[in-house]
Structures are given as structure tokens and as C-alpha cells.
Structure 1
Amino acid sequence: MMRGMGNMQGMVKQMQKLQKNMQKDQEELNKTEFEGHAPDDAVVVKFTGDHKMTDIAIKEEAIDPDDADMLQDLIIAAVNDAMTNLETQTQKTMGKYSRNMPGF
């Protein structure tokens, strides 16, 4: 019976270590800056790993008062690119914690 308790304590310690590592990796990911680019870098956006936009740069030639739709499309393209980059890195960084775990 005591042998089972030792295994349980070991498992609890292992889970606590895993949780601490997970939190550390998530904090690092949140600090990481991700860029998204529209074609020809007409619009470039920057996001943190926790999905907050920190910057947007729009080339002057992308601003056409007669074609606001094009600028909107460029912004959407840049944001979607940044989100794809962020999600890819999130999977690389955090995915290791859910592999081989039942229910994930």
C-alpha cells in the first residue's frame, strides 16, 4: 500500500513540473512578436503571442482614397498571415504538452 503512495507522490511532482514548464513556455510565447505581411509588404502588422496587435505599417502607395476595399483586403491579408504564424508557433511550442495525453 505504501508503494502506491510513493508512485502517486512522484506523479504529482511530475505534473507540477509539467505545469510549471507549460506556464513558462506560454509566457515566452506571449512575449514573442509575430509579423504578418500582405503582398509586396504593402501592409505589415505585428502581434504578441497573446494575440494583441502592437504595430501596423502601411506603405503610402497602398492608400488610395478611391479604393478603400483594396486597403482593407491588404490589412486582412497581413493579419491573417500573422495569425497563421502565431498559431503555427503555438502548436510547435505548446503541442508537446498535449501529445500522448488522453482526451487531447
Structure 2
Amino acid sequence: MFPGGQPDMARLLEQAQQMQQQLAAAQEQLAQEEVTGTAGGNLVSVTMTGQGEVTAVTIAPAAVDPDDVESLQDLIVAAFRDASRAVNELTASRMGPLAGGLGGGLGLPGL
């Protein structure tokens, strides 16, 4: 496993620092990226950053019916859910490879 049975602590610390830098860079990249969720055939759209901050909500005039406010509310909720799903997918694609590196990358049992 390790030469002499002991891990090289300096090497482990260096790898941990590199991983921390990579995670910080990935988080910064997520903050700069945007995704858009839609509902009702694009009647409602919600734009979020990769960190889940809402930056825009767009409602098409055709979605506004004063006699049917509940449908518009449902479309808004659905667009938020779609945008949130897109954020989760983006996060997994950016952070997944880094999280996978925790297992074998540091060579520590249980990580």
C-alpha cells in the first residue's frame, strides 16, 4: 500500500491543497455560468446561476390570464424546478470529477 506502511504526509497535504484549489475554481466557474428552466412551452422561464441564484424570470403575455392565476403560478413553479434540475446537472458535471478524485486521489482508506 504505502512504502514502509506510512503515507507521505507532505504529498497528502499537497494533494489536498490542489483539490481545494480545483474545488474553488469549479465553484467560481459555477457562479459565472447560467442555466434556464422553462415551462408551458416557454411561456415562463427562470434563469439561475450555477450556484442557484435566480437572475431572471420571464413570463410571456400569453401566460397571463386574470381568470386563471393558478395556472400561471403552476408554470412559474415548474420553471423554477426545471432551472433547479439544470443547476444540479451543471453542478454534477463540474464537481463530479473532483469528488471522484477524493477516493483514490489521496490514497486514504474510506475517502
TM-score range, shorter chain: 0.7 to 0.9
Amino acid at match of 2:28: E
Residue of structure 2 in register with 1:41 after alignment: 42
Residue of structure 2 in register with 1:73 after alignment: 74
Residue of structure 1 in register with 2:106 after alignment: none
Amino acid at match of 1:83: S
Residue of structure 1 in register with 2:10 after alignment: 9
Q: CA offsets, 1:22-54, max 9 Å, x none?
A: 100111011111100112100011011121111
Query: Secondary structure of 1:66's partner?
Result: coil
Residue of structure 2 in register with 1:85 after alignment: 86
Q: Distance in 1 between matches of 2:41 and 2:33?
A: 24
Report the number of matched residues: 101
Structure 1 residue runs of 5 or longer lacking an equivalent are none
Q: Distance in 2 between matches of 1:32 and 1:69?
A: 31
Structure 2 residue runs of 5 or longer lacking an equivalent are 104-109
Amino acid at match of 1:50: Q
The structure in which a higher percent of residues are helix is: 1
Residue of structure 1 in register with 2:63 after alignment: 62
Question: TM-score by structure 1 length?
Answer: 0.87
RMSD: 2.0
Amino acid at match of 2:55: T
Question: TM-score by structure 2 length?
Answer: 0.82
Query: Secondary structure of 2:65's partner?
Result: coil
Residue of structure 2 in register with 1:18 after alignment: 19
Residue of structure 2 in register with 1:94 after alignment: 95
